[in-house]
Structure 1
């Protein structure tokens, strides 16, 4: 497997690090999928602006389904969200599900960009990139404005990311 970051930081002559330039990426809500008793909102981000290939989306959904036993071992509240991110140098899959107390549990996988590449567990110290954090923030706000405001979890599921870019 290749590096665990899409674009590494570059060193400049004076020894300081410089970061890549931010460029918006296409993002959209894909679908709601059922995983046992849970509803998972699936979102997608593409660095090149294209749509996610159906085969890649199906591999991601299969990996989410495989995570059902782990999610069911937690005091989950029946809802969560996933982000499938086609980066420039890798493919990322983030799965989050809501627990009591406003806690969000997570799993993170990475695959190479080849269509047949399999998602593998990412190192536990990794969390999310700047583009994924935009959708995570949307989902956090949706959770606090619905389920944590004494509205039904179905109201949370009905809230969909509607932006075009992150």
Structure 2
């Protein structure tokens, strides 16, 4: 088992809302996390992430979705991660995770299904949880949830 000294120290990472993406019958809020400000995320990974989200609409449509969700594109230190979540009744969020290498053209492949999220991604997940509770779960329209976006800052 790793000792506390073996675990990487937490360093804040830049995060921001990048825009809405249509995913079949749902609209997804895409946020981005960038581990190293000296190596800003390029346009191509964001475009590939958007395309993958768009092509996942059929899978989303097979669930009892509520027409909205969120995604996180995380350019980490060891890989490029894409997490897609969408909301179901009962306050349940589903999840699909993909991973790509950093040193090549992005090619997202399904990640290990045991993975959930890292500490930085959990910052955005917490933001989205609160936004969902304060809008859709409080009787407000889904459109209100979609306008509640992650402010530029750090996670």
Same fold by TM (over 0.5)? yes
Distance 2:105 2:152 in 1: 29
Deviations 1:60-110 (A, max 9, x none): 111112211111000000000000000011000000000001000010000
SS of alignment partner, residue 61 of structure 1: helix
Structure 2 gap ranges (5+): none
Q: Give the match for residue 30 of structure 1.
A: 18
Q: Give the match for residue 59 of structure 1.
A: 48
Q: Give the match for residue 72 of structure 1.
A: 61
The runs of 4+ residues in structure 1 deviating greater than 4 Å are none
SS of alignment partner, residue 110 of structure 1: strand
What is the TM-score when the length of structure 2 is the normalising length? Answer: 0.94
Greater radius of gyration (CA): 1
Distance 1:136 1:58 in 2: 21
Alignment partner of 1:99 out of 88, 92, 98: 88
Distance 1:36 1:66 in 2: 8
The number of equivalent residue pairs is 153
Distance 1:145 1:93 in 2: 25
Aligned residues: CA RMSD: 1.4
Structure 1 gap ranges (5+): 1-8
